[in-house]
Amino acid sequence: MNKYFFFLVFSFFALSSYAHIRLPNILASDMVLQQKSSTRLWGWGSPREKIKISTSWDNKTTEVETDGNANWQANIQTPAAGGPYTIVFEGENKIVLDNVFIGEVWLCSGQSNMEWSYNHGLSSVKEEFPLLDKLNIKFFQASKATSRTPQDNLEGNWMVCDSNTLKSFSAVAYYFGKVLNKELNVPIGLISSNWGGTPAEVWVPAQQVANNPVLKDAAMKKKVSTGWPITPGYTYNAMIAPLINHTIAGVLWYQGESNVETASSYTVLMDTLISSWRKSWNKDFPFYFVQIAPNKYPKYNVGALLREAQTKNLATAKTGMVVVSDLVEDTLNIHPSNKKDVGLRLANLALAENYNLDRGTYKSPIFKSLTIQKNQVELDFDNAGEGLILKGNAPKEMFIAGADKVFYPAAVKIKGHQIVVSSKQVKTPVAVRYQFSNTGIGNIFNKAGLPVAPFRTDDWPVDTSKIK
C-alpha cells in the first residue's frame, strides 16, 4: 500500500514537472532572433497555465496562457540588431535565456555540399580559427531525423561560433555568415538543416508531391538508400517544420546531385519547395541556391540537364543562383573543396539583393538571346557587367551545330557583352552549347571574375544513356 502511495505521489510530481513551461530547442541561450520583426515565441506548459515573458531589450512583459492542448505562443517585436539580451519565461517554473542576440538569421539547407565541414576534410577551414573571436556568429545545428508527420520540435542546439563548433558546421554557411557579419556589422544566426545524399523530394511537404503527377512519378523512381531517406516529406516534417515559427531573413540551398536522373522534373520540384516553404513561414523570403558543380555521373549529360533546370528556377521571384563550375579541381570528386568562394558569392547575392548594398557585378552571366548572322551566332547575356573575357588562349566547351544536330568545337570572339561563335564545319548554324555536359568546365567570365553559366540554345533530345 505504501509503495503504491509513493508511486502515485512520484508520478504526480513527475507529470507536474513535465507539464511546466517547456521551450523548443530552437529557442535557447546563445540564439539569434531576426531583427526588426514580429517574432514568435512558443512552447508548452500545463493547460491554462499563465506565463509571463519578459524581454530585456525593451523591458516589456507579455502575458499568455496555454490552451487546452497545453500549447502557447506569443508574438514580440524585436528591435534593430544588438545584444546580448535576456528573455525570461515565468509560469509554474522559470526559464531564463541568456546571451540572446538580435540580428540576421538564415536557414542553410540541402545535401552534402551544404553539410561539408572541416571534419569532412576541408582543412582550409583551419585558417579561420584565429579570426573567430572577432566575429559575432551563432550556429544552430539540426540533427538528422525523419518523420511521417510534421513535428513541432527537433534535436539541435545553438552554439557560439568558435574553433571547436566550426569544425563540424557547414563551411558554406560559415563563409556566408562571416561576410554578412563584417559587412552588415550585426549578429548572424545560421541554422544548418541538411542531410548528405537526400533528393529534394524529402524536403517538400509530402502532399505537394502527391498532388503533382510529374513529381509523384519522379519520386517513385528514387532508389532506396541505406544512407538517407527518399520518401517525400520525411525530412521536411522532422527538420524544417519545427523551425517555421522562427523568423528568418532567407534561405541558402545547395542540393541537386541526387536528382540528376530525374532532372526533367527538377524545376517544378524546386518551385514547389520554394513556394511551400514560403507559405509555411508566411513570408516571401529570398531563396539563393548553388548550381551543382561539374562531376562525372554514370549517365551522359544528366548533370547538364540538372544545371539547366536550376537556371530555369531563376524565373521564380526573389531567387538567385551561384555558379561554381570554375571552383572545381577534380570532376571525380562530388565535393569540391573550395567552399569559401561559394559562401562569398552567396553573400554577395544577399548583400546586393536583400540588403541593398553595392557589390558591383555580383552575378554570373546568363545566356539571354541569340542572333544568327550568316555563318556566325551572336550570343547576348544578362549580368555581363563591364564585359566578358576569355581566360586562356583558346575557348573551352563551346560548341556549334547546324540543322543536322552535329556539334563541333566553336571559334569564339568576345565583343563587350557579346560572344560571337562560328565554325568552318558549320556553314549555316542553328544552335550553340556551352559547358553542356557532366564534366565540362568553360573559361569565359565577366570582368568581375564570375563564370558564364552553362547553357544551350536548343531544345533537342539529349543523350542520357549509361556511360560504358
**Mean pLDDT over residues 166-171, rounded?**
98
pLDDT in tens, 374-413: 999 999 999 999 999 999 999 999 999 999 999 999 999 9
- Sequence-distant (6+) residues with CB within 8 A of 341 are 324, 327
**What local confidence, expressed as pLDDT, does residue 275 receive?**
98
pLDDT in tens, 406-458: 999 999 999 999 999 999 999 999 999 999 999 999 999 999 999 999 999 99
pLDDT in tens, 135-153: 999 999 999 999 999 999 9
Percent of the chain with pLDDT over 90: 95
pTM for this prediction: 0.94
- The DSSP-derived string for 181-247 is HHHH-S-EEEEEEE-TT--GGGGS-HHHHHT-HHHHHHHHTPPP-SSS--STTHHIIIIIGGGTTS-
How many CB atoms are located within 10 Å of the residue 208 CB? Answer: 19
Per-residue pLDDT band for 2 (boundaries 50, 70, 90) equals low
CA distance 31 to 137: 10
Count CA atoms closer than 13 A to 466's CA, side-chain side. 1
Per-residue pLDDT band for 20 (boundaries 50, 70, 90) equals confident
**Mean pLDDT over residues 195-221, rounded?**
97
- The CATH number given to 19-101 is 2.60.40.10
pLDDT greater at residue 5 or residue 188:
188
**What local confidence, expressed as pLDDT, does residue 122 receive?**
97
pLDDT in tens, 283-309: 999 999 999 999 999 999 999 999 999
Q: Cite the DSSP H helix spans in 261-328.
A: 266-281, 302-312
**What local confidence, expressed as pLDDT, does residue 58 receive?**
97
* Long-range Cβ contact pairs of 354-359 (< 8 A, separation 24 or more): 354/249, 354/250, 354/286, 355/183, 355/184, 357/183
- Sequence-distant (6+) residues with CB within 8 A of 131 are none
Residue 404, SS3?
A: coil
172's grid cell:
558554406
pLDDT over threshold 50, residue 459 = yes
Domain 103-353 in the same topology as domain 19-101: no
**Mean pLDDT over residues 242-265, rounded?**
98
Map out the domains of the chain as residue ranges. Answer: 19-101, 103-353, 366-456
Enclosing H/E stretch for 440 = none
Q: How distant is the alpha carbon of residue 2 from its chain centre?
A: 58
Q: Please tell me the total number of residues recorded for the chain in this structure.
A: 468
- The CATH number given to 103-353 is 3.40.50.1110
Q: Where are the beta strands (DSSP E) in 391-440?
A: 398-401, 407-409, 411-415, 418-422, 431-434
